[in-house]
Structure 1
Amino acid sequence: MTDHTRSRPLTVRTSSSPTISPRTFGVICLLVTGIGWAFNWPSMKFLLHVWPPLFSRGLAGVLSATALAVVAHQRGESLKVPGVAVPRLLFAAFTNVFAWMGFSSLCMKWVPVGEGALLVYTMPIWTTLFAWPFLGMRPTARGFAALLLGLAGVMVLLGGQEFAIDAGKLYGVAFALGAAVLFALGAVLNRTPLPVTPIALTAWQVGLGCLPMVLLGLAFEHPDLGALTPAALGTFVYMTIFPMGVCYLTWFAALRRLPPAAASTAMLLVPIVGVISAAIMLGEPLGLREVSAMILTLSGVVLALRQR
C-alpha cells in the first residue's frame, strides 16, 4: 500500500503534455504573418478608393499600437524603454514599419499593384545577401534553390504584365525597392532582442513607425475623413487588427525562432495568397499562370522552411 502511494507522484511527474518546438511555433507564426499580410494587399487596394495610402496605413498602425500598448499594460508589461535601447528601437521602427508599410504603400501611386509587389518581394534576395556578412549565415545550395523557386513563382505570377520603367515610374520603383532593401536589413540587424517585452516592443515599433505616416498623410494627401463607407470601414478595421497588429507580433516571434533568410523567403507566400484573395474578393483573374506560380512559390517555401 505504501509502495503504491509512493509511486503515484512519480507517474504524475513523468507524464507531460506535448509541447510545440520553437521552430514549429516560428513556422506557425510565419504562416499567420504571410496570410494576414497577403489579405492586406486586396484590402489596401479596396481602401485606396476612398482614402490615400500613407494616411490609411498610418492611422491603422497608430490605432493598433495603442491597442497593443493597452494589452501590454493589462498583462503587467512595462512600456518603459531603457535610454540605451532608444536608437535601436528607432532604427527597428524605421526599417520594420515605416519603410516596409509606408514605402510599399507609396509605390502604388506610381506603379500598378502587381509591379509594386514584384519589386517589394525581392526582399528575400536582400535578406540572403545581408545575412552573409552581418550574421555569417552563408547561403546553402538548398537556400539558393528555395530562393530561385520562390522568385520564379513571383515572376510567373506577375510577369504577364508589361513592366517598363519610364520617368513617371522611377519614384514608384525607388520606393518599392527601398521597402524591400530596408525591411530585409531590419530582418537581419534587428534580431538581437531589445530589453522590452514582446507586446510592448511591437506597440512601440508600430506606433513610432506609423505616426509619421499619419502626419505626412495629413500634410500632403489631404484625406477626406467623411468618405469612409461601411465596407471601407470594415476593411480599415481588418487592417488595424491583423496586418498592423497581430501580424507584426507573429513576424517578430518568427524572426526570433527562424533564420532570417528562410523567414523572408517564406514571405513569398504573400503575393501568391494576395492574388488568390484578390480573385475572390475583387474578381481579378485566376488561371493557369496563377496556379503555376503558386506551385513554384510553395515549393520554394517548403525548401526554405526545411533548412536547419
Structure 2
Amino acid sequence: MSQASTAIDRREAIDGFAVAVMIMLTFSWGLNQVAIKVANTGYSPIFLTMARSAIAAVLVYGWCVWRGIRLFERDGTLWPGILAGVLFAVEFILIFFGLDYTTAARGALMINTMPFWVLIGAHFLLGERITGTKFLGLAMAFAGVTLVFVDQLSLPDASALRGDVMCLIAGILWGATTLVIKKSKLADASAEKTLMYQLVVSVVFAIPLLPFGGAILRDVSALATGALLFQAVFVVAFTYILWFWMIRTYPATGLASFAFLTPAFGVLCGGFLLNEPLSINIFAALTLIAAGLFVVNRPVRRRIPPG
C-alpha cells in the first residue's frame, strides 16, 4: 500500500481546512438532490443506483491502479466492508425511490437527520460523549433547517409520506454506515478501499432487484444522462473518497453536524435550477446553521490545575 494511503493524520478537532472541505462537500450533496430528481426522469431508481456505482467503481479502480493503492490484501476489512456496502446500497435505493414520491426539499430534510443518529451512535460506540454544548449546537442547526421548510411542510400529495419515510430510513442508514467505518477495521483502510467496498457491493446488490424497479428506461434525455454522470463521476468517485478520508481523520460528530448545510444548499440549488421558491427564511436559516456549527465545533478549553 502506498505511503500516502497508510499514513493517517488523526486530528482531535475541526480546523479551518475541514470547514472549507465540508462546505464544498455539503454544497455538492445539496446539488445532488437536484441531480437525482433530474436523473429519475430518465431512468429507474434501481438502475440509477447500479449504474452510478458501476461507473464510479471503474474510475476509482483506475485511480487506485495509477496511485499504486492496494485493494485486495487481507486486512480484516472484508465483512465490515460488505456490511457498509449493503447499507450504502439500500440507502441510495431508498433515496432514489423516495425522491420519486416526495419533493427534493422534504427528502433532503429527512435524509439529513443523519447527524442525530451519528451523535447517538458515537456516544455508545465511539466514546464521543454527547455534551450539552454539542446538543445545543445541533438543535440550533436543526432549527435552521426546519425554518427553511416552514412554508413547505404540507404534503404535495398522499404518496409523499411514503417518500418521506424512505428518505428518513436512508438518513439512518447513512449514519449507520459512518459508524461502521469508524468502529471497524475500515477506519485504518484507505478511503479508496472503503469506497470500493460500497460501490462493488451496491452493484451486486442492485442487479437482482432490477426487475422490481419498473421500466429501466423512462424519458431518457441528455439532461437525465448528464445528471447520472455528474453523480457517478463527481459526487461518488470524488466527493465520497474525500468524505471517507475526512471521517477517518476528524471526529465523526463534528463532521456530521455539517450535514445540516446540505438541505439548505439543496433548496438554494432547487431555487436556481428547478425554479423552487426562495424566501428570507432560507437566509435566516443559514445564519442559525452557521451559529450551530460554531457551537458544536468550538474547541473545549481545559483548565490546567495550578502547580
TM-score w.r.t. the length of structure 1 is 0.83
**Aligned runs of 1:1-308 on 2, under 5 Å?**
23-24=14-15, 25-82=17-74, 84-95=76-87, 97-163=88-154, 168=159, 171-191=162-182, 192-194=184-186, 196-224=189-217, 227-307=219-299
Amino acid at match of 2:83: F
Larger Rg: 1
* Alignment gaps of 5+ in structure 2: 1-8, 301-307
Does the CA-based 8 Å contact 2:142-2:260 persist in structure 1?
Answer: yes
Amino acid at match of 2:244: F
Does the CA-based 8 Å contact 1:40-1:239 persist in structure 2?
Answer: yes
Does the CA-based 8 Å contact 1:30-1:250 persist in structure 2?
Answer: no
Does the CA-based 8 Å contact 1:142-1:307 persist in structure 2?
Answer: no
Specify the SS of the correspondent of 2:249. Answer: coil
CA distance in 1, matches of 2:136, 2:25: 23
Shift of 1:307: 4.5
Does the CA-based 8 Å contact 1:65-1:204 persist in structure 2?
Answer: no
CA distance in 2, matches of 1:166, 1:36: 28
The change in CA–CA distance for 1:301 and 1:217 in structure 2 (over 3 A counts) is farther
Amino acid at match of 1:75: R
Specify the SS of the correspondent of 1:50. Answer: coil
Deviates more, 1:25-34 or 1:199-208: 25-34
Q: Any idea what the Cα deviations from partners look like across 1:158-209, whole Å, max 9, x if unmatched? A: 2322346998455434322221222212212311443643323322222212
* Alignment gaps of 5+ in structure 1: 1-19
Q: Any idea what the Cα deviations from partners look like across 1:245-298, whole Å, max 9, x if unmatched? A: 111111111111222111111111111111111111112111112222222122
Does the CA-based 8 Å contact 2:118-2:252 persist in structure 1?
Answer: yes
Amino acid at match of 1:294: L
CA distance in 2, matches of 1:222, 1:232: 15
Shift of 1:219: 4.0
Does the CA-based 8 Å contact 2:40-2:100 persist in structure 1?
Answer: no
Amino acid at match of 1:49: T
Specify the SS of the correspondent of 2:213. Answer: helix
CA distance in 2, matches of 1:236, 1:112: 19
Does the CA-based 8 Å contact 1:154-1:272 persist in structure 2?
Answer: yes
The change in CA–CA distance for 1:178 and 1:21 in structure 2 (over 3 A counts) is closer
Does the CA-based 8 Å contact 1:79-1:196 persist in structure 2?
Answer: no
Amino acid at match of 1:159: V
Shift of 1:78: 1.7
